[in-house]
Structure 1
Amino acid sequence: MKYEWRKKDKGWYLPKAIPTIIDLPPLQYLTIRGEGNPNGEGFKSAIQALYAFSYAIKMSPRKGIETEGYFDYTVFPLEAFWDSKVAPIEGQPLDKDQFIYHLMIRQPEFVTKELMAVLKEGVIKKIGPERAELVQLETIDEGKNLQMLHLGSYDSEPISFAHMADYCEEHGLKRIGHIHKEIYLSNAEKVEASKLKTVLRFPIN
């Protein structure tokens, strides 16, 4: 039976628009790191590289590649950890050129570096060797987090983060660090900004 993350992992990827505590196990991702404005070509190229590998893995049986433990599944959504070279100033717009990002797409347990090496030649033909070399296979342990669904443009995310901060204060929770994660449930090129759905998440204790 096909693995559908929208059904199997609904609590992780489809939260309500209210703060919710989750505890995540270590999970495997294809990742790529970069910096700069997410509206720039470098960011778009990084996304293309992740999807090129992700779909090559999913479709590998059609290329005659047999992988132990393989099962059919829906490709997971794009995710990203976000940081900045400069501290944001409250009440001031963010300087997006200073952003640091760690983009990722979750992968099934059967994915290995050996499988990626087998698929690499085909991926290079699509995206070139430079971008293909930047994609890594990582296991990330996020642990205890607070998350909620944000409805609307990326620029209005501070509204939801304020709700999350209030929740932490009310329940005696502490945010760890300043980096946060976003999970993109909408295609920003096809969905108007006011209807975008994005999961916001940060670690707590």
Structure 2
Amino acid sequence: MTAAKVDLKDDDAYRAHRGEFRMLTVPDRAYLAVDGHGDPNTAAFAVAVQALYPVAYALKFASKDAGRDYVVPPLEGLWWAQDMDAFTRRRDKAVWEWTLLLLVPDWLGADDVAAAVEHTRRKAPPRLDDVRLQQLAEGRCMQTLHVGPFDDEGPVLHRLHHEVLPGAGFVPTGKHHEVYLTDPRRTAPEKQRTILRQPIS
């Protein structure tokens, strides 16, 4: 009998509701990661995405062959700028820094990722050598669900940073984290669903 395919989104960290800011503790996790800079609407962002997914699928199929299948998880991203107002309020995309992420199941490790990268090399995706395994320890976080275009996130983030967190006695620590529950290539902007997460202390 074939084991059920694991959906890595069946986890508390992937639950959020529009209009609700919820505190949770996110366990340490490992991700495929690639870095970038600037406006996410440019080719550089698309190239970074194209580097991640072939490795993610090579990793998935190797795991499936070994007896543990899973659904490739949604794209995620860490976002920051020297002045976070450039991200949360002014939305000055030219100065943004980012790291794109794809979650790696906890039963896979560095050797599996290295093998997946080598398996992918024959396809020669751009920036393949920039893909790495990154550990992320976020701990206590506040998150909410944004429904709508990415460019409409600003007021939600400003409220989180300047009203919700100070009102609850917390300050942001670490990098802003987004989880893209819908594929923007296949989803109308007004229906896009994005988890907005901020590590706090």
- Pairwise TM-score range, normalised by the shorter structure: 0.7 to 0.9
Aligned residue-pair number: 196
Q: 2:30 aligns to what?
A: 28
Q: Find the aligned partners of 1:175 and 1:37 in 2 and give their Cα distance.
A: 23
Aligned-residue offset at 1:111: 2.0
Give the counterpart of 1:102 among 92, 99, 103. 99
* TM alignment of 1:21-100, pairs within 5 A: 21-60=23-62, 66=66, 71-85=68-82, 88=85, 93-100=90-97
* TM alignment of 1:41-190, pairs within 5 A: 41-60=43-62, 66=66, 71-85=68-82, 88=85, 93-128=90-125, 131-165=127-161, 166-176=163-173, 179-190=175-186
Give the letter for the 1:139 counterpart: Q
Q: Find the aligned partners of 1:92 and 1:168 in 2 and give their Cα distance.
A: 16
Q: 2:193 aligns to what?
A: 197
User: Are the equivalent residues in 2 in contact too, given 1:19–1:163 (CA < 8 A)?
Assistant: no
Q: For 1:57-111, what per-residue CA distance to the aligned partner results, in whole angstroms no more than 9, with x for missing partners?
A: 111257x6x4xxx521111111111012555369974221211101111101222
TM-score (norm 2): 0.87
Partner SS, residue 59 of structure 1: helix
Aligned-residue offset at 1:168: 2.1
Give the letter for the 2:99 counterpart: H
Segments of structure 1 that go 5 or more residues without pairing to the other structure are none
User: Are the equivalent residues in 2 in contact too, given 1:52–1:127 (CA < 8 A)?
Assistant: no
Q: Find the aligned partners of 2:53 and 2:88 in 1 and give their Cα distance.
A: 35
TM-score (norm 1): 0.85
Aligned-residue offset at 1:164: 2.4
Aligned-residue offset at 1:53: 0.6
Segments of structure 2 that go 5 or more residues without pairing to the other structure are none
Aligned-residue offset at 1:5: 2.5
Identity of aligned residues (%): 29
User: Are the equivalent residues in 2 in contact too, given 1:146–1:202 (CA < 8 A)?
Assistant: yes
